[in-house]
């Protein structure tokens, strides 16, 4: 017993001697140099919406946002001093009394476990790696010397600011600002006394005092700090009692897994690394300020339009991109799980194409054929036969096996002769098959690339029916030239990226290129307005001038609506995920009791979004076109195959019988006297390689599996 007491007295004497050594070393020896600069702490990067509000934080292992001391509430400053170091504002950076007290506890416990450090010591230990983490007397001496030197070089306010911006508070949050957001969804400047006391109390053991696992401990440590604040006159007893009554309005530990515009934020993160060549370290730990184009009001409208339309757990996936006509991405939804950060870090249907399983655009691709048709000098007043099905015998449209290309209208619909506007608004496949055959698939492909910037296109006739893959981002961008008299913008998500020191790493402005003749663009728009009035999306108007096109692929696998006003272009897609094992995609044959085509739920989502997004903004009109061009089959009906000229498309008055033509005739023969009145001779003829069955014959082409994009000449027989 006597030896134990003697040993303890020797240790106490050693501690006193250690304190003296520290003081002497700090005064005279100086063999522990203070680094010339404080190491830069990793801090989170902030993503801002276009109104300056915070969208999200990017961070690595340390979620930290550095803010000046005047943006950290006095409540938290005083709470931390009361909980950690009551003599902070008067000590020299090192507390001999605290060190002796800690050593005494360590001696009684038989090991060095008690801290006894000042706030300054805690700070230098955290930022200067050369001190080390192992608890030894030598480390304590180095730590104390650095703390004393640090306190001489910097003011107490500077030290407290640095400490509060670097210390760990639990929940992955480093520093006061990140902690305030992680626990209370507020800023460090707005912390209440109760909230601040809790955060100060958990610094020694943040994981132990988590409110979800230890609610009584969380309240108890808060109350302990409030009592300390009363002891040192930071609070009166009445104020402390009132603070206890305030409660602790914690947000759930998983709340950070939800975010506004989660898919847009993840798209921006990937863009910074892939397009702007910023390193992962810069983005996650560089404290960057990232300014974006996202409109919070439109984003909320986009998320709500999807979630309010697709309400069942087994509903298909959906994606949407809304883009201002200058190219600024205003809203982006990458799946039905609209705010889930972890889901957003996976697959984004708005901007990504699954490898080998691109989602086809269906008839939403027809406007590019329409633009090619008008750009080639043809008039939208042209009239086409629109039977249920046709066969195209030209070599350029043959299937890979050499068979003729068979095309059928959606749901086997049969139309009377229609002009181009009617064919487009009703999405008549057999008319668009004749158009691509007339124009040539290479010409249509070139126009689609020119207008929309598409790269993954095959120059095959089925391109007119949308057998090439596309994303909502591509489609929203590709429709903008129709609204802007031919100007296609570069998609714009990131406006500016600035480092904590003010260095500008990225500085973008809207940029557009003239890709289409203005009158061609205006004519396409005039045609597409009819889709919403009396076409496949009838009843989906938004109470102001708008235009658009539906798209539905074979077997109801994908459904689209892409529409626009003079200021905003929006693409909506729906479809089930493709099974990665079987590579099969379920059909949308019964969603909320209906078969999903582009004019149903996708158009509903589009309508709901556009009404909300544009509410309160002035309505604008499209520019009216000048209708020009050569007319194919002006008025009246063309003759069925075998009953008229094979090279010319002769037009007759409605109801008139067709004359019998000689096999070699290339000119329109006169109608038999008294039986028919020939129509005006058309200014253009169609190639003689379209087989149109007689009205009494139904042609049902054998189904053909689609070859991969770039190789197929055949196309779905049932798209709209």
CA 542 vs CA 154, 552, 574: distances in Å: 62, 21, 20
Are the CB atoms for 413 and 423 separated by under 8 Å? Answer: no
Strands 289-292 and 317-324: unpaired
Residues serving a catalytic function are 84, 363
Tokens of residue 564, six digits: 């626009």
Phi, psi of 571 (to 5 degrees): -115, 130
Are the CB atoms for 553 and 466 separated by under 8 Å? Answer: yes
Tokens of residue 181, six digits: 């957001």
Nearest to 41 by CA among 146, 128, 158: 128
Tokens of residue 516, six digits: 């289409």
Of the CA atoms within 13 Å of residue 599, those in its CB half-sphere come to 20
Length of the chain: 720
Rounded to whole angstroms, the Cα distance separating 690 from 391 reads: 6
Tokens of residue 340, six digits: 């889930």
Are the CB atoms for 692 and 675 separated by under 8 Å? Answer: no
Rounded to whole angstroms, the Cα distance separating 667 from 433 reads: 25
H/E stretch holding 10: helix 2-24
277 Cβ neighbours under 8 A, 6+ residues apart: none
Which three-class secondary structure string do you get for 314-367? CCCEEEEEEEECCCEEEEEECCCCCCEHHHHCCCCCCCCCCCCCCCECHHHHHH
Instruction: Kindly compute the dihedral angle of the four CA atoms of residues 570, 575, 581, 582, in this order, to the nearest 10 degrees.
Output: -130
Which three-class secondary structure string do you get for 591-614? ECCECCCCCCHHHHHHHHHHHHHC
H/E stretch holding 143: helix 137-153
Which three-class secondary structure string do you get for 181-241? HHHHCCCHHHCCHHHHHHHHHCCCCCCCCCCCCCHHHHHHHHHHHHHHHHHCCCCCHHHHH
Tokens of residue 14, six digits: 């050693």
Of the CA atoms within 13 Å of residue 442, those in its CB half-sphere come to 1
DSSP 3-state of 88: coil
Rounded to whole angstroms, the Cα distance separating 389 from 408 reads: 4
Tokens of residue 671, six digits: 């109608």
């Amino acid at each position: 017993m006597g030896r134990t007491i003697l040993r303890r007295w020797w240790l106490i004497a050693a501690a006193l001697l250690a304190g003296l050594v520290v003081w002497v070393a700090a005064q005279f020896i100086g063999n522990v140099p203070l680094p010339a600069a404080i190491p830069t702490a990793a801090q989170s990067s902030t993503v801002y919406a276009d109104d300056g509000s915070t969208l999200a934080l990017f961070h690595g292992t340390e979620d930290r946002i550095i803010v000046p001391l005047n943006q950290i509430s006095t409540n938290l400053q005083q709470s931390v001093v009361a909980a950690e170091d009551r003599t902070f504002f008067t000590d020299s950076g090192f507390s001999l009394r605290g060190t002796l007290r800690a050593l005494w506890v360590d001696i009684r416990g038989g090991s060095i476990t008690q801290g006894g450090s000042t706030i300054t010591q805690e700070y230098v230990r955290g930022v200067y790696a050369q001190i080390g983490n192992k608890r030894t007397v030598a480390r304590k001496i180095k730590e104390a010397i650095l703390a004393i030197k640090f306190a001489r070089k910097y003011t107490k306010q500077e030290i407290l600011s640095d400490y509060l911006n670097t210390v760990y508070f639990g929940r992955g949050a480093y520093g006061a600002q990140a902690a305030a957001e992680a626990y209370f969804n507020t800023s460090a400047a707005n912390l209440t006394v109760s909230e601040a006391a809790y955060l100060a109390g958990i610094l020694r053991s943040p994981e132990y005092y988590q409110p979800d696992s230890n609610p009584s401990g969380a309240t108890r440590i808060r109350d302990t700090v409030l009592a300390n604040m009363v002891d040192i006159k930071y609070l009166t007893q009445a104020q402390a009692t009132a603070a206890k009554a305030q409660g602790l309005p914690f947000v759930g530990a998983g709340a950070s897994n939800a975010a506004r515009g989660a898919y847009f934020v993840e798209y921006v993160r990937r863009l910074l690394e892939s397009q702007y060549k910023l390193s992962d370290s810069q983005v996650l730990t560089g404290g960057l300020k990232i300014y974006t184009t996202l409109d919070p009001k439109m984003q909320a409208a986009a998320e709500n339009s999807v979630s309010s339309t697709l309400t069942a757990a087994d509903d298909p996936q959906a994606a949407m991109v809304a883009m201002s006509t200058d190219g600024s991405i205003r809203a982006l939804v990458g799946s039905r799980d609209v705010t889930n950060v972890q889901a957003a870090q996976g697959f984004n249907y708005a901007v990504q194409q699954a490898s080998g399983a691109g989602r086809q655009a269906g008839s939403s691709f027809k406007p590019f054929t329409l633009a090619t048709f008008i750009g080639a000098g043809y008039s939208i007043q042209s009239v086409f036969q629109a039977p249920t099905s046709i066969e195209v015998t030209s070599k350029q449209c043959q299937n890979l096996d050499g068979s003729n290309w068979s095309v059928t209208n959606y749901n086997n619909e049969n139309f009377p002769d229609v002009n181009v506007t009617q064919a487009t608004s009703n999405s008549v496949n057999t008319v668009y098959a004749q158009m691509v055959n007339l124009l040539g698939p290479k010409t249509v492909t070139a126009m689609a690339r020119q207008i929309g910037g598409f790269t993954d296109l095959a120059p095959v006739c089925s391109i007119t029916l949308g057998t090439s893959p596309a994303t909502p981002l591509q489609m929203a961008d590709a429709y903008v030239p129709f609204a802007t008299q031919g100007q296609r913008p570069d998609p714009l998500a990131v406006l500016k990226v600035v480092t904590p020191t003010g260095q500008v790493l990225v500085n973008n402005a809207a940029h557009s290129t003239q890709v289409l003749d203005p009158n061609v663009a205006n004519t396409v728009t005039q045609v597409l307005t009819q889709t919403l009035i009396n076409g496949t999306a009838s009843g989906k108007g938004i109470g102001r001038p708008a235009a658009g096109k539906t798209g539905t692929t074979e077997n109801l696998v994908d459904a689209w609506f892409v529409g626009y006003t003079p200021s905003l272009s929006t693409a909506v897609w729906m479809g089930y995920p493709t099974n990665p094992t079987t590579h099969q995609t379920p059909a949308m044959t019964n969603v909320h009791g209906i078969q999903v085509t582009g004019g149903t739920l996708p158009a509903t989502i589009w309508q709901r979004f556009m009404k909300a997004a544009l509410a309160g903004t002035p309505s604008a009109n499209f520019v009216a076109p000048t209708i020009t061009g050569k007319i194919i089959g002006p008025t009246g009906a063309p003759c069925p195959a075998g009953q008229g000229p094979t090279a010319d498309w002769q037009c007759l008055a409605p109801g008139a019988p067709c004359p019998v033509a000689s096999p070699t005739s290339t000119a329109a023969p006169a109608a038999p006297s008294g039986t028919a009145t020939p129509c005006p001779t058309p200014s253009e003829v169609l190639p003689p390689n379209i087989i149109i069955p007689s009205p009494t014959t139904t042609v049902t082409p054998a189904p053909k599996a689609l070859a991969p994009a770039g190789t197929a000449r055949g196309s779905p027989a049932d798209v709209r």
